[in-house]
A and B are shown apart, each in its own frame.
Chain A
Amino acid sequence: MAVDATRFSLTLSRRTRRRKLVNLLMQVLATIAALAAVAVLAVVIISVAQRGASALSWDFFTKTAATFGQSGGGVADALVGSLVLVALATAMAVPVGILIALYVSEFASPRIADAAKLVLDVLNGLPSIIIGIFVFALLVIGSGQAAWKGSFALAIIMLPLVARATQEVLALVPSTLREGAMALGASRWRTVLGVVLPTSLGGILTGTVLAVARAAGETAPLLFTTSIAANAVTWDPRQPVLSIPIDIFALAESPDPADHARAWALGFVLISFVLVISLTARLLLARYRSKLER
């Protein structure tokens, strides 16, 4: 067979060179995209930290806003408000979320479990402002704002997060554990409460913490339910309370640079809380999952 020697030339053909070039270009573009995303995160965090950290002081955390025309003052009312709102929302959402997850993973038939997961996903996909409007329509019209109504709205946001996270952890519990308990003569409910739940406690906790981080930063559900409050610290959930996100939202709209400084400081507090919490929870969850899967 006669072989055309030129076909075995060691220099790359034009076509190959072009293919390699395109390949390189695409790799560079993909790398740039990923770096850009990380850069945006860094820019946001740094600009919030730069502008916010300097305004932090003891007074900032312990006093309420100064009366009009005076300087100084703090955000104690918003901090306490957020604490009350999120604590109450957690108390409402977590038990129900765990129960739903137990139903999906331990009791429901595959079809019904699928439907329940769909409901949770759709609930999770609803814009948070819709939840705010719903609670406004259900509870606020006619009777006014209150902290517990805001908490109820936040709980609706947290519910699918807690339920889905719990359900995913429950699905990881080895079936040998369930079967072992059953083989020892334990009934279904004793198995669930005595074996399955304790085994997945770590995962449920981290899922809850992630939901708390999400709820702490939500503004839209609180706008209609607990946004107009007296300038004082209150722990009473029957009163409307101020909260960190609402305070940032209001201060950002203000033309006064002093208000912007307070908004940045609050933003710094909020972002630190949320990022530290979700980072730790993510790490713990990853560790926990790998332990359970082993």
Chain B
Amino acid sequence: MSARVSAVPSTTAPSLSSRRRLGDRLGDGALHGLTAAAAAAAAALLIAIAWKIFDVAHPAISKYGFGFLTHQGWDVARNKFAALDFIWGTAVTSFAALLIATPVSIAIGLYLSELAPRGARTVIASLVELLAAIPSVVLGLWGILVLGPFVGQDLEPWLHRHLGFIPLFSGTPENAGILVAILVLTIMVVPIISSICRELFVGVPTELEEGALALGATRWEMVRGVILPYTRSGVAAAVILGFGRAIGEAIAVTQVMGAGHGIHWSLFATGDTLASRIAEQYAGAAGLQVASLVYLAAILLVISLLVNLAARLIERRFTYQRTGGS
């Protein structure tokens, strides 16, 4: 701006440059305004989503209040709706899926960051990530027609024979049910958690790792003593993100969970999650049923907002600590 120093004042130069500067100022302002408007629109969209969902759910919210969350039953014929069955189904499937997926994902992350042969590393990593790219409806199709029969006819009878004394494995084996949903959800969240884990593990300073090895630690002791403590909060954030994915999956779960009712201890029983119940009743819902379905969506929205914010906050604090606030 201060570069325009001319010894000889000319009559044309100032007007020309000021016109150009005006054009540039307008251009700068226009682009700044346009991009800012787009960013504001994204924020507005988020607010609009929350507002609209609570707005449409309002008839059900005002009729049932918080009792909706603590009661069972979904009876379209009698126009009575409640969410506890589906909250239960969501909690059981997501927690169980994470219980399996977390150690597996950490192991995959460790394998990819520490063990895999250098040349194969990126190939295996992208294959694992490709697992996340499979459309959920295709995974659900595979779940109901391939995985389901395997679970119903081989896995569940086996579990029942050997571990049947545990309530989880009681009941009659079925091709569709909670266990199939848990397995499908596990397949969906493993690539998400493991790719974040891999990045975290790769980011551990080499000096720390080599220090542990130099002190005579085995590789596993180095992992347990250095890598895992160092990345703990990041891994926690990854697991929470995986949880957010698991509770929100509607399509594949709808296909394999069998649209059941009630709260059962048996993993063989059919069930429904918040998201899958919404997806099932897309056709022909009316009146209070619509409001109740959207009330389910509102519950899901609140949980997933909390989950996402929590994960991002942990993630942010993690990177803040590791980079010394820069």
A96 B146 Cβ-Cβ under 8 A: no
Considering the chains assembled together, what is the distance between the CA atoms of A102 and B133 in angstroms?
A: 27
Closest B residue, CB atoms, query A131: B49
Closest A residue, CB atoms, query B104: A33
Considering the chains assembled together, what is the distance between the CA atoms of A246 and B170 in angstroms?
A: 35
| 138-186 of chain A: CB within 8 A of chain B | 138, 141, 156, 159-160, 163
Interface size, chain A (Cβ < 8 Å): 87
Most buried by A among B38, B53, B116: B38
B142 A37 Cβ-Cβ under 8 A: no
Closest B residue, CB atoms, query A37: B128
Q: Which residues of B contact A120 (CB under 8 A)?
A: 42
Shortest CB–CB separation between residue A58 and chain B, in angstroms?
23
B39 A278 Cβ-Cβ under 8 A: no
- Residues 80-123 of B, flagged 1 when their CB comes within 8 A of A and 0 if not, give 00000000000000000000000111011011101110000010
Closest A residue, CB atoms, query B43: A119
B248 close to A (CB within 8 Å): yes
Q: Which residues of A contact B112 (CB under 8 A)?
A: 34
A83 close to B (CB within 8 Å): no
Q: Which residues of B contact A138 (CB under 8 A)?
A: 48, 52
A270 close to B (CB within 8 Å): yes
B39 A125 Cβ-Cβ under 8 A: no
Considering the chains assembled together, what is the distance between the CA atoms of A40 and B150 in angstroms?
A: 14
B146 A122 Cβ-Cβ under 8 A: no
- Residues 227-246 of B, flagged 1 when their CB comes within 8 A of A and 0 if not, give 00000000000000100100
A47 B142 Cβ-Cβ under 8 A: yes
Known contacts A107-B35, A120-B42, A223-B282; decide if A40 and B131 are in contact (CB<8 Å). yes
B60 close to A (CB within 8 Å): no
Known contacts A130-B300, A217-B138; decide if A30 and B49 are in contact (CB<8 Å). no
Interface stretch of the complex, out of B63-71, B154-162, B187-195: B187-195
Considering the chains assembled together, what is the distance between the CA atoms of A286 and B28 in angstroms?
A: 32
Closest B residue, CB atoms, query A105: B35
Interface stretch of the complex, out of A5-13, A63-71, A189-197, A230-238: A189-197
A217 B39 Cβ-Cβ under 8 A: no
Known contacts A126-B248, A130-B248; decide if A30 and B110 are in contact (CB<8 Å). yes
B308 A122 Cβ-Cβ under 8 A: yes
- Residues 85-126 of A, flagged 1 when their CB comes within 8 A of B and 0 if not, give 000000000001001101110111000000010111111011
Checking B114, B139, B300 against A44 with a beta-carbon cut-off of 8 angstroms, the contacting residue is B139
Q: Which residues of A contact B305 (CB under 8 A)?
A: 122, 126
B241 A130 Cβ-Cβ under 8 A: no
B301 close to A (CB within 8 Å): yes
A37 B131 Cβ-Cβ under 8 A: yes
Considering the chains assembled together, what is the distance between the CA atoms of A106 and B35 in angstroms?
A: 9
A267 close to B (CB within 8 Å): yes
B107 A29 Cβ-Cβ under 8 A: yes
- Residues 113-151 of B, flagged 1 when their CB comes within 8 A of A and 0 if not, give 011100000101011111101111111111011100000
Known contacts A159-B42, A253-B255; decide if A107 and B36 are in contact (CB<8 Å). yes
A53 close to B (CB within 8 Å): no
Closest A residue, CB atoms, query B311: A125
Closest B residue, CB atoms, query A218: B135
Considering the chains assembled together, what is the distance between the CA atoms of A44 and B37 in angstroms?
A: 43
- Residues 26-47 of B, flagged 1 when their CB comes within 8 A of A and 0 if not, give 0110111011111101110110
B294 close to A (CB within 8 Å): yes
Considering the chains assembled together, what is the distance between the CA atoms of A107 and B300 in angstroms?
A: 34
B174 close to A (CB within 8 Å): no
B111 A267 Cβ-Cβ under 8 A: no
B28 A37 Cβ-Cβ under 8 A: no
A130 B297 Cβ-Cβ under 8 A: yes
Known contacts A20-B218, A252-B140; decide if A116 and B42 are in contact (CB<8 Å). yes
Known contacts A41-B131, A224-B282; decide if A48 and B142 are in contact (CB<8 Å). yes
Checking B141, B297, B312 against A267 with a beta-carbon cut-off of 8 angstroms, the contacting residue is B141
Considering the chains assembled together, what is the distance between the CA atoms of A125 and B312 in angstroms?
A: 10
Considering the chains assembled together, what is the distance between the CA atoms of A20 and B219 in angstroms?
A: 9
Shortest CB–CB separation between residue A96 and chain B, in angstroms?
5
Known contacts A30-B108, A220-B250; decide if A133 and B294 are in contact (CB<8 Å). yes
Considering the chains assembled together, what is the distance between the CA atoms of A29 and B103 in angstroms?
A: 10
Considering the chains assembled together, what is the distance between the CA atoms of A220 and B253 in angstroms?
A: 11
A137 B300 Cβ-Cβ under 8 A: no
B76 close to A (CB within 8 Å): no
11 residue pairs from A and B, CB less than 8 Å apart: A33-B104, A51-B145, A99-B39, A125-B307, A133-B297, A141-B56, A214-B133, A227-B283, A252-B137, A252-B141, A282-B126
Report which B residues bind A (CB closer than 8 A): 24-25, 27-28, 30-32, 34-39, 41-43, 45-46, 48-49, 52-53, 55-56, 103-105, 107-108, 110-112, 114-116, 122, 124, 126-131, 133-142, 144-146, 187, 190-191, 194, 218-221, 223, 241, 244, 247-251, 255, 275, 278-279, 282-283, 290, 293-294, 297, 300-301, 304-305, 307-309, 311-312
Q: Which 5 A-B pairs have the closest CB atoms?
A: A127-B248, A217-B135, A103-B35, A187-B24, A99-B38
Q: A33-B107, A106-B35 are in contact. List 5 more A-B contacts (CB 8 A).
A: A23-B220, A33-B105, A116-B39, A122-B309, A217-B134
